[in-house]
């Protein structure tokens, strides 16, 4: 008798790991707080100093990191299905380039921080529409055409970003570079990323089986009763919205969106109904851990979080790949 693995135990484990990572992350920093004290603060007790430290400084940042990581991982998983390419990541269609250009232009004219975020979001949406409009062309868009358009447009964004960096005054360069490397320290609001993540998961979960079918190719999917074009539109819009929100929150943090869905597929199989929520938890956890490392390793100095997503992700991925059949 063929047995299917139950879907909930891996999700339960991932949820518990996420919670544990967040409790530890909230406790670590320039002043360390023991997990027991952290839990006491979260339960509404603890000293005044600890309450300020945890609730006002660290918790918003940890939540923002979790939300951003989750968004990127889910967006990566969606893009991989949309393009039928396991090597796709959220930025593959040039979305981060558009966002970066918006943000850097805003920084160049010394706009307020809120405007930098708004410009990044606007740039991301512009990039999305541009790629989709161009790939649409005269009616036919195929994943390979979308991919090619995205990659070429991304190269264009790259050139524009280099141009801005070349002409920007020297004192603005560090801020720009940090933005490009991605940094959760920029996250001023923690709730949008988590809110978008939860809402998207609610939209995407009932679509999980349809995405499994879509991954078998558009013609096969249509033969199995799927309305392929509307679904592909929806997946594209959702993945773009997720990525735009993530980029606006914390700049373009690399690696999470590519590697987390991959790792999960190696461990859990290929059912999108499991992979998508698991990506949300695992991506969030990875970024929480990476951000904690980024702000504690040479504290009080902070390192770009992208360095640590790669430092944690690369060996883990290579190990799992080596171990798999």
Partner 1 sequence: MQTLNCQQLLIDIPGRPSGRPLDLRIEAGQVWGILGPNGAGKSTLLHTLAGLRNARSGRVFLGERALTDLPRKQVAQQLGLVFQERQDGFPATVLETALIGRHPWLSPWQMETADDLALAERSLQRLDVDHLADRLVNTLSGGERQRVAIATTLTQSPHTWLVDEPTNHLDLHHQVAVMELLTEQAAGGCAVLMCLHDLNLAARWCDHLLLLFPDGEACWGEAASMLVPEALEQLYDQKLATAEVDGAPVYVPVR
- The contact set with partner 1 (CB under 8 A) reads 1-2, 4, 7, 80-81, 84-86, 206-207, 209-210, 212-213, 215-217, 219-220, 222-227, 265, 269-271, 273, 325
Give min distance, CB of 143 to partner 1, in A.
10
How many whole angstroms separate alpha carbon 163 and alpha carbon 253?
21
Closer residue to partner 1 in complex, CB, 185/228: 228
CA 256 to chain CA centroid, Å, is 6
Give min distance, CB of 325 to partner 1, in A.
8
Closer residue to partner 1 in complex, CB, 78/107: 78
Closer residue to partner 1 in complex, CB, 61/265: 265
DSSP state of 55: I
Give min distance, CB of 195 to partner 1, in A.
22
Give min distance, CB of 119 to partner 1, in A.
36
CA distances from 38 to 57, 284, 285, 293 (A): 13, 20, 18, 18
Give min distance, CB of 69 to partner 1, in A.
24
Closer residue to partner 1 in complex, CB, 169/225: 225
Q: Concatenate the DSSP letters of all residues of 37-52 into one string.
A: HHHHHHTT-S-HHHHI
- Burial pattern 73-103, b for ≥16 Cβ within 10 A else e, equals bbbbbbbbbbbbeeebbbbbbbbbbbbbbbb
Tabulate helix, strand, coil % of the chain (nearest 5): 75, 0, 25
Closer residue to partner 1 in complex, CB, 136/216: 216
């Amino acid at each position: 008798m063929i047995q299917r693995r139950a879907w909930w135990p891996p999700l339960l484990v991932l949820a518990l790991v996420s919670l544990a990572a967040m409790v530890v992350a909230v406790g670590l920093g320039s002043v360390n707080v023991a997990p027991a004290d952290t839990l006491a603060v979260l339960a509404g007790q603890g000293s005044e100093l600890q309450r300020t430290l945890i609730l006002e400084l660290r918790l918003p940042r940890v939540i923002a990191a979790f939300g951003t990581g989750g968004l990127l991982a889910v967006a990566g998983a969606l893009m991989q299905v949309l393009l039928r390419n396991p090597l796709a990541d959220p930025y593959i269609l040039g979305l981060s380039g558009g966002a970066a250009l918006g943000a850097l232009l805003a920084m160049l004219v010394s706009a307020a921080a809120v405007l930098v975020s708004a410009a990044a979001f606007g740039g991301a949406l512009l990039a999305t529409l541009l790629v989709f409009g161009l790939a649409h062309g005269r009616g036919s868009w195929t994943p390979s055409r979308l991919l090619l358009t995205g990659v070429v447009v991304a190269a264009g964004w790259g050139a524009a970003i280099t141009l801005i960096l070349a002409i920007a005054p020297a004192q603005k360069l560090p801020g720009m570079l940090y933005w490009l490397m991605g940094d959760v320290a920029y996250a001023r609001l923690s709730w949008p990323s988590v809110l978008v993540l939860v809402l998207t998961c609610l939209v995407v979960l009932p679509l999980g089986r349809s995405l499994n079918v879509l991954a078998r190719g558009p013609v096969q999917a249509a033969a199995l009763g799927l309305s392929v074009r509307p679904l592909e539109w929806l997946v594209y819009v959702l993945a773009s919205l997720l990525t735009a929100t993530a980029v606006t929150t914390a700049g373009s943090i690399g690696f999470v969106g590519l590697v987390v869905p991959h790792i999960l597929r190696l461990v859990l199989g290929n059912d999108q109904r499991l992979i998508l929520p698991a990506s949300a938890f695992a991506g969030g956890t990875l970024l929480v851990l990476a951000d904690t490392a980024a702000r504690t390793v040479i504290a009080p100095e902070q390192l770009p979080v992208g360095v640590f997503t790669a430092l944690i992700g690369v060996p883990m991925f290579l190990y799992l790949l080596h171990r798999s059949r």
